[in-house]
Structure 1
Amino acid sequence: MLLKLLFLVLLGQIRAKPVEDEPVCGYEACPATNFSTLNVHLIPHSHDDVGWLKTMDQYYFQDVQNVISTVIPALKQNPDRRFVQVETAFFKKWWEQQKDSVKQDVIKLVNNGQFEIINGAWSMNDEANVHYQFTIDQYTLGLRYLEDRLGKCSRPKVCWQIDPFGHSREQASISAQLGFDSVFFARLDYRDRINRLGTKTGDLIWRGSSNLGNSSDIFTSVMYNHYSAPAGFCFDIVCNDEPIIDDEESPDYNWKSRVEAFANFVREQASKYPTNNILVPMGDDFRYQAALNAYINTDRLIKGFELFPQTFEGKPIKLLYSTPTCYTKAVNDFVNSNNYKLQIKSDDFFPYADGVASLVVGYFTSRPASKRFVREANTMLQVAKQLAAVANLPYENENINSLKEAMGVLQHHDAITGTELIDVTHDYHRILHKGISDAVNAINPILSNLISGSDSLKLESCLLANVSVCLQAKADQFILTVYNPLSRVVSSPISIPVETENWKILDSNGDEVVYQVVPSITDFSTLVDETTSPNSLDFIAKDIPALGYKVYTFTKVATKPTKRITVGADGTTFEIDEVSGLLTSVTMNGVTLNVTQDFLVYKSGGRSQAYVFDPDGDPQRVASTVTVKKIEGDVYYGVVQEFSDWAKQIIKVYKNDSSYIEFDWVIGPLNIDDGGKEVISQFSTPLQTEGVFYTDSNGREILKRVRNQRPDYDYTDEQPIAGNYYPVTSKILIRDENLGVEMAILNDRAQGGSSVKDGQVELMVHRRIRSGDGFGLDEIEYGHGIVVRGKHFLVLGPVSGNGEKSLAAIERDVAQRKLLPPWVFITNQDVSGSKNLEYSSLKRPLPDNVQLLTLEPWSDGTLLVRLEHVLEKNEDENLSKEVTVDLSDLFVAFTVQELKETTLAGNIPIEENVRLHWPGSTNEAPPQAPRAPTDLTITLAPMQIRTFLATVTYNNL
Structure 2
Amino acid sequence: MAARTQQLAAALLFILGGVLSFPLSEDTQQTATCGYESCHATKSNMLNVHLVPHTHDDVGWLKTVDQYFYGDLNDIQHAGVQYILDSVVDQLLKNPDRRFIYVETAFFYRWWRQQSSSMQQTVKQLVNEGRLEFVNGGWCMSDEATTHYSAVIDQMTMGLRFLNETFGACGRPRVAWHIDPFGHAREHASMFAQMGYDGFFFGRLDYQDRTRRMIEKEQELLWRASDSLTPPMADLFTGILPNGYNPPEGFCWDQSCDDPPIRDDPDLEDYNVDDVVMRFIAAAKNQALVYKTNHIIMTMGSDFQYENANLWYKNLDKLIRYVNVLQTNGSKINVLYSTPSCYLQELHRANLTWALKTDDFFPYADDSHDLWTGYFTSRPALKRYERISNSNLQTCNQLEVLGGPASTKGPFGEGDSDTMKKAMAVAQHHDAVSGTEKQHVANDYAKRLAKGWQHCQVLVSNSLAALSGSTAERIYCDNLNISVCPLTESSKKFSVNVYNPLVRPVTWPVRLPVNGSAYAVSDANGKSVDCKVVPVSSVTRDVRKNRGSAVNELVFQVQAPPLGYSTYSVSLLQDGPPPASTKHRTPTAIQNKYLQVTFDPDTGLLSSLSNLETKQTVKLTQNFYWYNASDGNNSHSNQPSGAYIFRPNSSTPFIISKTAKTETVQTSVVQEVRQWFSPWASQVVRLYADSRALELEWTIGPIPIDDDLGKEVITRLDTSIETSEIFYTDSNGREVLQRKKDFRPTWRLRQSEPIAGNYYPINSRAFIKDDVDQLTVVTDRSQGGGSINNGSLEIMLHRRLLYDDVRGVGEPLNETSHIFPKGLVVRGRLLLSLERPPAAADTHRKLAQEVVLQPLLTFTNGELHPNTKLEFSGLQAALPPAVHLLTLSQWDKDLVLLRLEHQFQSWESKVNSQPVTVNLQKLFSTLEVLGASELNLSANQWKDDMTRYEWMAQTGADPLPKNSEASAAWEVTLKPMEIRTFLLRVSLR
Settle same-fold status: TM greater than 0.5: yes
Q: For each residue in 1:673-712, what CA deviation from the matched residue of structure 2 results, as whole angstroms up to 9, or x when unmatched? A: 2111111110001211111111110110010111001111
**1:395 offset after TM fit, Å?**
12
Q: For each residue in 1:436-489, what CA deviation from the matched residue of structure 2 results, as whole angstroms up to 9, or x when unmatched? A: 1111112211112222x25x3322321222222222222223322111000111
Corresponding residue number in structure 2 for 1:13: none
Q: For each residue in 1:872-894, what CA deviation from the matched residue of structure 2 results, as whole angstroms up to 9, or x when unmatched? A: 11211111100101121321221
Aligned counterpart in structure 2 of residue 308 of structure 1, from 321, 326, 332:
326
Corresponding residue number in structure 1 for 2:13: none
Corresponding residue number in structure 2 for 1:735: 769
Aligned counterpart in structure 2 of residue 744 of structure 1, from 753, 773, 776:
776
Q: For each residue in 1:842-884, what CA deviation from the matched residue of structure 2 results, as whole angstroms up to 9, or x when unmatched? A: 1111111101111111123211110000111121111110010
2:767 and 2:777 in contact (8 A); partners too: yes
**1:309 offset after TM fit, Å?**
3.6
CA distance in 1: counterparts of 2:741 and 2:96, whole angstroms = 53
CA distance in 1: counterparts of 2:694 and 2:833, whole angstroms = 7
Corresponding residue number in structure 1 for 2:304: 286
Corresponding residue number in structure 2 for 1:384: 396
Q: What secondary structure sits across from 1:445 in the alignment?
A: helix
Where does 1:222-621 land on structure 2 (aligned, <5 Å)?
Answer: 222-309=240-327, 316-334=332-350, 336=351, 340-393=352-405, 399-451=416-468, 453-454=469-470, 456-476=471-491, 477-524=493-540, 526-528=542-544, 530-535=546-551, 537=553, 539-558=555-574, 568-588=591-611, 589-606=614-631, 607-617=640-650, 618-621=652-655
CA distance in 1: counterparts of 2:268 and 2:415, whole angstroms = 58
**1:522 offset after TM fit, Å?**
3.8
TM-score by length of 2: 0.90
Where does 1:11-90 land on structure 2 (aligned, <5 Å)?
Answer: 22-62=31-71, 63-90=80-107
CA distance in 1: counterparts of 2:556 and 2:513, whole angstroms = 15
CA distance in 2: counterparts of 1:140 and 1:393, whole angstroms = 23
Does residue 1:662 correspond to 2:695, yes or no? yes
- Cα distance change of structure 1 residues 132 and 67 upon mapping to structure 2, 3 Å threshold: same
1:516 and 1:538 in contact (8 A); partners too: yes
**1:224 offset after TM fit, Å?**
1.2
CA distance in 2: counterparts of 1:203 and 1:756, whole angstroms = 32
**1:306 offset after TM fit, Å?**
1.8
CA distance in 2: counterparts of 1:586 and 1:65, whole angstroms = 58
**1:501 offset after TM fit, Å?**
3.0
1:310 and 1:317 in contact (8 A); partners too: no
CA distance in 1: counterparts of 2:512 and 2:336, whole angstroms = 63
Corresponding residue number in structure 1 for 2:115: 98
Aligned counterpart in structure 2 of residue 698 of structure 1, from 713, 718, 732:
732
Q: What secondary structure sits across from 2:704 in the alignment?
A: coil
Corresponding residue number in structure 2 for 1:207: 224
1:479 and 1:827 in contact (8 A); partners too: yes
**1:202 offset after TM fit, Å?**
0.2
Corresponding residue number in structure 1 for 2:211: 194
1:236 and 1:290 in contact (8 A); partners too: yes
Corresponding residue number in structure 2 for 1:637: 671
Q: What secondary structure sits across from 2:618 in the alignment?
A: strand
Q: For each residue in 1:498-547, what CA deviation from the matched residue of structure 2 results, as whole angstroms up to 9, or x when unmatched? A: 23332222221122222223233444555456522344535444331111
Query: Which amino acid in structure 1 is aligned with residue 815 of structure 2?
Result: E
CA distance in 1: counterparts of 2:42 and 2:512, whole angstroms = 65
1:200 and 1:272 in contact (8 A); partners too: yes
Q: What secondary structure sits across from 2:513 in the alignment?
A: strand
**1:924 offset after TM fit, Å?**
7.8
Q: What secondary structure sits across from 1:285 in the alignment?
A: coil
1:440 and 1:460 in contact (8 A); partners too: no
Q: What secondary structure sits across from 1:77 in the alignment?
A: coil
Corresponding residue number in structure 2 for 1:891: 924
**1:574 offset after TM fit, Å?**
0.3
**1:931 offset after TM fit, Å?**
6.8
Corresponding residue number in structure 2 for 1:722: 756
Identity across aligned pairs (percent)?
40
Query: Which amino acid in structure 2 is aligned with residue 100 of structure 1?
Result: S
**1:76 offset after TM fit, Å?**
1.2
| Mean CA deviation greater in 105-114 or 28-37 | 28-37
2:563 and 2:875 in contact (8 A); partners too: yes
- Cα distance change of structure 1 residues 567 and 241 upon mapping to structure 2, 3 Å threshold: closer
Which stretches of structure 1, 4 residues or more, deviate above 6 A after TM superposition?
17-21, 394-398, 559-566
Corresponding residue number in structure 1 for 2:718: 684
**1:78 offset after TM fit, Å?**
1.1
Aligned counterpart in structure 1 of residue 831 of structure 2, from 793, 805, 810:
793
Query: Which amino acid in structure 1 is aligned with residue 823 of structure 2?
Result: G
CA distance in 1: counterparts of 2:496 and 2:920, whole angstroms = 31
- Cα distance change of structure 1 residues 553 and 395 upon mapping to structure 2, 3 Å threshold: closer
- Cα distance change of structure 1 residues 646 and 263 upon mapping to structure 2, 3 Å threshold: same
Corresponding residue number in structure 2 for 1:646: 680
Query: Which amino acid in structure 2 is aligned with residue 732 of structure 1?
Result: A
Q: What secondary structure sits across from 2:301 in the alignment?
A: strand
Q: For each residue in 1:539-562, what CA deviation from the matched residue of structure 2 results, as whole angstroms up to 9, or x when unmatched? A: 444331111111122222216999
CA distance in 2: counterparts of 1:886 and 1:21, whole angstroms = 39
2:406 and 2:466 in contact (8 A); partners too: no
| Mean CA deviation greater in 19-28 or 62-71 | 19-28
- Cα distance change of structure 1 residues 60 and 398 upon mapping to structure 2, 3 Å threshold: farther
1:400 and 1:439 in contact (8 A); partners too: yes
- Cα distance change of structure 1 residues 241 and 929 upon mapping to structure 2, 3 Å threshold: same
2:33 and 2:130 in contact (8 A); partners too: yes
| Mean CA deviation greater in 51-60 or 236-245 | 236-245
1:573 and 1:653 in contact (8 A); partners too: no
Query: Which amino acid in structure 1 is aligned with residue 923 of structure 2?
Result: L
Aligned length: 921
2:518 and 2:572 in contact (8 A); partners too: yes
Corresponding residue number in structure 1 for 2:586: none
Q: Which runs of 5+ in 1 are unaligned?
A: 1-16, 801-805
Query: Which amino acid in structure 2 is aligned with residue 815 of structure 1?
Result: A
CA distance in 1: counterparts of 2:377 and 2:917, whole angstroms = 39
| Mean CA deviation greater in 244-253 or 199-208 | 244-253
| Mean CA deviation greater in 246-255 or 322-331 | 246-255
Corresponding residue number in structure 2 for 1:812: 845
CA distance in 1: counterparts of 2:907 and 2:959, whole angstroms = 23
Q: What secondary structure sits across from 2:302 in the alignment?
A: strand
- Cα distance change of structure 1 residues 721 and 907 upon mapping to structure 2, 3 Å threshold: same
1:521 and 1:650 in contact (8 A); partners too: no
- Cα distance change of structure 1 residues 328 and 545 upon mapping to structure 2, 3 Å threshold: same
2:489 and 2:550 in contact (8 A); partners too: no
1:445 and 1:457 in contact (8 A); partners too: no
Alignment RMSD:
2.2
- Cα distance change of structure 1 residues 394 and 120 upon mapping to structure 2, 3 Å threshold: farther
CA distance in 1: counterparts of 2:528 and 2:629, whole angstroms = 51
CA distance in 2: counterparts of 1:508 and 1:70, whole angstroms = 62
Query: Which amino acid in structure 2 is aligned with residue 533 of structure 1?
Result: S
- Cα distance change of structure 1 residues 834 and 22 upon mapping to structure 2, 3 Å threshold: farther
Q: For each residue in 1:734-779, what CA deviation from the matched residue of structure 2 results, as whole angstroms up to 9, or x when unmatched? A: 1113xx2111111000000000000000000011111145331111
